[in-house]
Amino acid sequence: MRSKLKYIYNKINAISTSANWYVSTFVYLLISTLIFSCAQVVAPGGGEKDITPPKVVKYIPDSASLNFKSKSIVVFFDEFIQLKDLNNQLIISPPLENSPDIKVRNKMLTIDFDKEEILKPNTTYSISFGNALQDIHENNPIDNFKYIFSTGGFIDSVVVKGKIENAFDHKTDKGILVMLYTDFSDSVIYKKKPDYFAKTKEDGTFQINNIRTSKYKLLVLKDANSNYKYDSESESVGFIDALIDVTEKKNILIDVFQEPSKKLFLKKTNYNSYGKISFIFNKTTDSIRIEPLNLTLNEKDVFLDYSKNKDTLNYWFRKDDKDSIILQVKNGYRIIDTVDFKIIKKEDALKSRRNPLRLVVVNSPAGNQNVDLNAEFKIVFNNPLDPVLFNNSISKEINLIEDTVPIKDHKNLFYTLEPFNTISINTKIIAKDGSVKIVPVVFKENTNYHLFIPPGTFTDIFGLTNDTIKIDFKTREEKFYGTLKLNLDIPVTAGNYIVQLLDEKETIVKESNINKSETLFYEYLYPKKYKLKIIYDNNANFKWDTGNLLQKLQPEKVIYNAEPVNTRPNWDLELEWKVIP
């Protein structure tokens, strides 16, 4: 049998080299079908595990062919093959207008181009399968299997490598498009597919192969709809300021960023509790106006509370004399939406079993045995407190006990109502000149505290008062914490900086704004690893700003200190960081 197969194989080779290509392909397919139809695919019966990927036996036409004009490609392998995750693994560069039909059958791979597809003249094409092509039994992949051909007289061989990072946090992502264009117009990424492209690996690296020697416009796209065009606000983009000469540019670092939404709109609303409607927007805003259209609400009836990042506005109102409320939502003077709700009545809210209307504490150090020494003591209520009825003389009614001894000097404790629903306990310091300074209360280390607030001490905007509030907590020991002394060396003419101390989850622990060399002290740090980050605050607005493609505006530069900061208990750490713009 083996000798017969060898005879057939030699015959095929003779035909493929002497006869018309289409005839030879037909003979290949016919004989392969006859052979494979008689074969029975069975799993190996034993022995050592196969770890060898499939090998190519023959290409038709040959890989790296010149003056390519075929509409079909056939590749034969030495064992049975399969395709896995082809949609994510396949890269054809330059991209085709129509997706080719790619199939496997037994030991044969076929690539059939669309009848309407017109290949570019004098262009090298690369069809990369990544790790999608595998053997059928052990799933051994052919690593980065490629088929290359040229419609011209030679194979282009220039390579461009680099890395793509998120501009804000330097994180990397798989599958981001890195694209080269011979069209240098500003709108090319919105209208055309690239001349060449590659996709990033998980570590952000990329490599574009077989590029023709020339200058190109380089653009980066996190493509949400797989059309190679920048046409969605959910997509991220990046660019290099000048054209690149691919014979010179080898390793490129590019920041990818998401442009700010061009239009503000209302994403959704929540009205689940009495007197409170939440408006959630698609981006940050602080110029929202909410105007009732069917009832009169004066300033004392309405309370507005923005979320920390200002993309959510809580609208509190204390009037329910109508069955519904119609609200017009404006950004400045521009109407962006109109919403209406059936008003929840107060008597119904008070009787509700699922969400009864009450004034309760929703956040406090209650029961916490590890309250930080430097933490501000805050009590957060579910509803806004009535600012007119709030009175700092309530400190006479509140009993704060240190260990088992009541704190006698209550007159120095100052209870501050921070916008609407938060109370902080501070200390009133009276200077010799009579000036008053309010600072957060300082608690003793490793000490138990008990705070007792009698019923009726606080009243919310709906006229509800609190029940008895008992808060027990204990402070940490001083030696639990570490300290960092950061010496920043900044060029004299550098500009404005935002310095951030982050935990390993990128949560901001401390933040400072500086414009000159300075020493920063970070006290009461938990014993763990931290990151140091600096934002080049070019416009001095105390926040990071993203870029704009059409305006050729890069996002504000971000750098991290190379090494993590590792703090230990009861330990002082000093660090030097020279900032190079």
User: How buried is 262 (Cβ within 10 angstroms: 0-12 exposed, 13-18 middle, 19+ buried)?
Assistant: exposed
- Who contacts 408 (Cβ-Cβ below 8 Å, separation ≥6)? none
Both tokens assigned to 38? 């008689």
Cβ distance 557 to 536 under 8 Å?
yes
CB-CB neighbours of 342 under 10 Å: 10
pLDDT at 195: 93
DSSP state of 480: G
pLDDT at 35: 45
pLDDT at 15: 40
Cβ distance 501 to 532 under 8 Å?
yes
DSSP state of 301: G
pLDDT tens over the chain, length 581 residues: 444 444 444 444 444 443 444 444 444 444 454 444 444 444 455 556 777 899 999 999 999 999 999 999 999 999 999 999 998 889 999 999 999 999 999 999 999 999 999 999 999 999 999 889 999 988 999 988 999 999 999 999 999 999 999 999 999 999 999 999 999 999 999 999 999 999 999 999 999 999 999 999 999 999 998 899 999 888 999 999 999 999 886 789 999 999 988 889 999 999 989 999 999 999 888 889 999 999 888 888 899 989 888 899 999 998 888 999 999 999 988 999 999 999 999 999 999 988 899 999 998 887 777 889 888 888 999 999 998 888 755 666 778 888 877 665 555 677 888 888 998 888 777 778 888 787 778 888 999 988 888 999 899 999 999 999 999 999 999 999 999 999 999 887 768 999 999 999 999 999 999 999 999 999 999 999 999 999 999 999 999 999 999 999 999 999 999 889 999 999 999 999 998 76
DSSP state of 410: G
pLDDT at 46: 53
- Who contacts 60 (Cβ-Cβ below 8 Å, separation ≥6)? 16, 21, 24, 25, 28, 73, 74, 75, 76
How far apart CA 559 and CA 258 sit, in angstroms, is: 18
CB-CB neighbours of 431 under 10 Å: 8
Question: How close are the terminal C-alpha atoms of the chain, in Å?
Answer: 73
How far apart CA 546 and CA 257 sit, in angstroms, is: 7
User: What's the full length of the chain, in residues?
Assistant: 581
pTM as predicted: 0.79
Q: Which domains does the chain have, with CATH numbers?
A: 52-150 (2.60.40.1220), 158-256 (2.60.40.1120), 266-351 (2.60.40), 361-477 (2.60.40.1220), 481-578 (2.60.40)
Cβ distance 560 to 170 under 8 Å?
yes
Nearest Cα to 160, choosing from 92, 255, 89, 244?
Answer: 244
Largest CA distance in the chain: 111
Q: Is 151 left (phi over 0), alpha (psi -120 to 50) or beta?
A: alpha
